[in-house]
Amino acid sequence: MGKIILVDKAKGMTSFDVCFKLRKIFNTKRIGHTGTLDPNATGLMMVLIDNATKINQFVLSARKEYIATVKIGILTDSEDIDGKVILEKKEIMPDKEKIEETLESFLGKSKQVPPMTSAIKVNGKKLYEYQRNNETVDIKERDIEVFEIKLLKINEETFVFSCIVSSGTYIRSLAQDVLKKLNIIGTLSDLKRTRIDDFKLEDAYTLEEINEGRFNSLDIYDVLSKYYYVYEVANESDVLNGKALKLELNEDTILCVKDKKALAIYKKENNVYRCVRGLL
């Protein structure tokens, strides 16, 4: 059976580094995660181990929460503190009310241009590969949504805000859009992911804790039951054999279970539910 672990990623590690270390701890080759964090970012990662890797495409991750720190007066080529400084100038921090008003203007649905440092592919090539080769490429805007955003702290050099955003939203790009509207330059100096849907950073474990066995894991049912309608099957073998189910349900996708054991994901097709992924 697979397991899901909520990991509190440390600064300086890539998401690949986290999975590499966990692969050794659990002595497995089957491992993945539901969303990358940049090396400079810290906080919550959801890591899937063994059979749990089967659910990656079904973890919707509709909302993610972050705490972002922005340093004004400095601009880098990566839009975060790890990049090469391309511009420095003396900036005066806008007043609290102005920053709050600007942040609130980003609430709701909008378009966003992903950063060149991202791993999004254009013409089969990742954006950061274009950047490394000093190549230009047209980047299409993406639909994003900001559900919540608020100012947490402010001083002469930095301001800190929290936000809850749709999956696929780049916080460094959001920060740049905020700075442009404030008519000042700055860069993302710190980023922490604090929540993925209903899963919280406070319930996550460091790699040290996991290595020492001081952690609890989630199973597939714990996670997928947060996203899908749970259908308790009468005959487990029918689902394990991929039998189509005629059910009077309105949901497009359902999680078939037996005694809280996740068996399969089924989707409606012409009023019949058919198996799209076995989970055992």
pLDDT digits (tens, 9 = 90+) for 116-148: 666 677 777 776 677 677 777 777 888 999 999
**Domain co-membership, 21 together with 86:** no
**Domain co-membership, 51 together with 98:** no
| Identity of residue 216 | N
Among 235, 265, 233, 237, smallest CA distance to 252 is for: 265
Helices (H) and strands (E) counted in the chain, each on its own, are: 7, 17
Where in the sequence numbering do the catalytic residues fall? 38
CATH code for the domain in which residue 232 is found: 2.30.130.10
Please report the pLDDT score of residue 119 as a whole number. Answer: 64
Please report the pLDDT score of residue 69 as a whole number. Answer: 98
- Domain enclosing residue 236, as ranges: 228-278
**Domain co-membership, 74 together with 178:** yes
**Domain co-membership, 18 together with 89:** no
What band does 55 get if pLDDT is binned at 50, 70 and 90? very high
**Domain co-membership, 160 together with 215:** no
Q: How many domains does the chain have?
A: 3
**Domain co-membership, 155 together with 259:** no
Tokens representing residue 51 in the block: 């059979």
Q: For the whole prediction, is pTM greater than 0.85?
A: yes
> Rg of the chain's alpha carbons, rounded to an integer?
21
**Domain co-membership, 191 together with 70:** yes
Q: How far is residue 145 CA from its own chain's centroid?
A: 14
Please report the pLDDT score of residue 11 as a whole number. Answer: 94
Please report the pLDDT score of residue 210 as a whole number. Answer: 97
pLDDT digits (tens, 9 = 90+) for 231-251: 999 999 999 999 999 999 999
pLDDT digits (tens, 9 = 90+) for 172-222: 999 999 999 999 999 999 999 999 999 999 999 999 999 999 999 999 999
**Domain co-membership, 188 together with 203:** no
Average pLDDT, the chain: 92
Tokens representing residue 19 in the block: 């999975």
CATH code for the domain in which residue 176 is found: 3.30.2350.10
**Domain co-membership, 140 together with 217:** no
pLDDT digits (tens, 9 = 90+) for 69-84: 999 999 998 888 888 8
**Domain co-membership, 248 together with 176:** no
**Domain co-membership, 10 together with 129:** no
